[in-house]
Amino acid sequence: MVQATIKINDDSNQILNIVKAKYKLKDKSAAIDFVVTQYGAKMLEPELRPEFIAEMQRIMKEKPIFVGTIENLDKVVDNFNDEDDE
């Protein structure tokens, strides 16, 4: 376990007190641990949203573009860029 001395503003302190009371935690250290764990679960490894999954499935059904060689790939990319400019 790591020990740290931290400085937090009054608003953060109030939020920690609310989290501590709401989840019946032992102390503010437990509240900080809880908040950080929740942040990690939601922000660092989010689940894929259903809209994103549906969009990826739609894209996977599209016909692939065969480019063959790197030179042909450059031509295809240039054509896509030209179409975007219009």
Segment 19-74, tens digit of pLDDT: 999 999 999 999 999 999 988 877 776 677 889 889 999 999 998 877 788 888 88
What residue numbers bound the domain in which 36 lies? 10-44
Q: Is residue 54 part of a domain?
A: yes
**pLDDT number for residue 57:** 94
Alpha-carbon span 70 to 64, nearest angstrom: 16
The pTM for the full model equals 0.51
**pLDDT number for residue 85:** 57
Q: Is residue 1 part of a domain?
A: no
**Are 40 and 61 part of one and the same domain?**
no
The counts of H helices and E strands in the chain are 4, 0
Q: Is residue 25 part of a domain?
A: yes
**Are 20 and 34 part of one and the same domain?**
yes
**Are 60 and 39 part of one and the same domain?**
no
**Are 40 and 57 part of one and the same domain?**
no
Question: Do 25 and 31 touch, CB atoms closer than 8 A?
Answer: yes
**Are 40 and 64 part of one and the same domain?**
no
